Structures are given as structure tokens and as C-alpha cells.
Amino acid sequence: MATPHIGGGQAELWNGSAGQAWAEGQVLMDGMYQPFEDLLVEAWPEGEGGVVLDVGCGAGSTTLAAARRLGPTGRVIGVDISEPLVATARARAAREGIAATFIRADAQAHPFEPGSVDAIQSRFGVMFFADPVAAFANLRRAARAGGRLRAIAWRSAAENPFMTTAERAAAPLLDLPPRKPDGPGQFAFADRERVRRLLEASEWTGIAIAPIDVPCAFPAADLETYVGRLGPVGLALREQDQRTRTRVLDTVLPAFTPFLAGAQVRFIGACWLIEARA
């Protein structure tokens, strides 16, 4: 089910090449971001049920983790703007026998039932709204009185050099779109005070925004896949011929040497843990 308004340019991106790339890279990305998933769902009382809404659920890993955490009496709803990712999430839930619900919709505008969820969670899903105040207000209406918001968002690009290594190295070879300060995009929530203002304007209370530095890793054997298929460089390479792809990868991969530790790629994810009450 989808809402009439599906997020403009973000919808085009995530229902096209970006969404397909993330669906294809699901195993790699879920492994890399596993520490964030664990941190996100540990706040929910284990085995005590309840209703959790997972915003920007992607391929469903965080949704299924929350469902396992809540137990058989719990209910988890994942919402994402990307049809390829929602399709992947539904298939995973069916494969694992987990009764989670997935909605392909723009969470900024989707008519959630008012007061219908106990908590809202998001791992890297709240930075892409065209109108963050409208989006957070819509999510607040979906939460019951006193319901919790718990989200993880990236801090600044400067604090996350791993995340921009590929595009910095590839800049002389590819015409990459510039990142826009304040988004929508990966680093849209870099400014803690801006995030606080957005939540206050959408009438959330008890706002707490804490910095977290989370060690992340994935197999070094997957680095070429990560660079060549995901992120701005990966998306740009989809439109290039094999000669250009080879030239770019030969230039970019050595730039990740500082992050190699034996058979793994290791980096620190510098993020905000954002919490609030409806």
C-alpha cells in the first residue's frame, strides 16, 4: 500500500538505482550496520510485546530484529519509500517466519492510525524527508501519548571520513553530484541543534540527542562490491563502461588502505542517538 505522495526526488532515487543497489547489497550492509541494529532495538522490553513502527526500514533487518525482541505478542510495522527494499523485506520476513508488516509509503505523509504505536525506531531512515517537521509531526500523531522515538542518524561528513573516501578519491574521474548541507541526505542531521529544533517544532518532548561512536566492520573481500555498487560512486559507475569502471576502482580502492585491518575493513560510525517522547 502506498500513499498518494511518495517523496519526490527521494522516491525516484530509492525506487530506482539506489533502492536496487541496496536490495542487492542487503547482506553486506546488514552485516556492516549490525552494531547499530543491536543498539536500536535493545531499548524495547524483551518479550513484552507492544507495537513498534520502523521508519525507513530498508530491506527489513531492523524490523525483524524488533519483532524478535518484542516476542510473539508484539507487532512491528516497517515503512519505506522503496519498492525494491520493501519487496526484499517482505521476502525475508516470509523466509524467516516472522509476522512483520511492511508498507511501501512516504512516512512523511502516510495516514498512520493516530495513537496506534507504542514506539518508533529508525536506523538511518529519518534524514531523507523533504519536510522534516511535517514528517516528525506525522510520526508523533501515530504514536500513543508517551510513546517513544528512538532513531540513529549520521553526524557530519568530517566525522565520518570512511563514508566519503570513495567519492573524494573518484572526484577527478567522475562527475558526482555535490552533497547538500541539511539534506535530504546522509548527513542532513549533522547539526545536533537543528535536529532538536525540528523535533521541538513537531511537538516532540523529552528530547535527548547523544553522540555515539560505533565500531563497524565488513570483510575486505567485499570492499570492491561496496565501492563499485553502493553509495554515490557505485551509483555513478552503473552508468559507465567497463573501462571507466576499472579505472575508477583502480584509483579508489587503494584510498581505503587506512581502514584495512587484516581480512576486514574497519571504521568508526560517528552518529547521533536521538530519543524523544510523544
Cα separation, 98 vs 95, whole angstroms: 8
pLDDT at 181: 74
pLDDT at 134: 98
- DSSP-derived pairing of the beta strands 143-154 and 260-261: unpaired
Contact 236, 174 (CB under 8 A): yes
Is-above-0.85 flag for pTM?
Answer: yes
Q: What is the pLDDT of residues 94-104, one digit of tens each?
A: 999 998 999 99
Superfamily name with CATH number, domain 8-156+183-215+271-277:
Vaccinia Virus protein VP39 (3.40.50.150)
Q: pLDDT confidence of 25, banded at 50, 70, 90?
A: confident
Which amino acid would we find at residue 14? Answer: W
Q: What is the pLDDT of residues 234-275, one digit of tens each?
A: 989 988 999 999 999 999 999 999 999 999 999 999 999 999
Which amino acid would we find at residue 139? Answer: L
pLDDT at 7: 43
pLDDT at 50 over 90: yes
Cβ of 10: how many Cβ atoms within 10 Å?
20
Q: What is the pLDDT of residues 104-150, one digit of tens each?
A: 999 999 999 999 999 999 999 999 999 999 999 999 999 999 999 99
Q: What is the pLDDT of residues 184-216, one digit of tens each?
A: 899 999 999 999 999 999 999 999 999 999 999
Angle between helices 161-170 and 242-252 (to 10 degrees): 130
Q: What is the Cα gyration radius of the chain?
A: 18
Q: How far apart are the first and last CA of the chain?
A: 26
Higher pLDDT, 147 or 7: 147
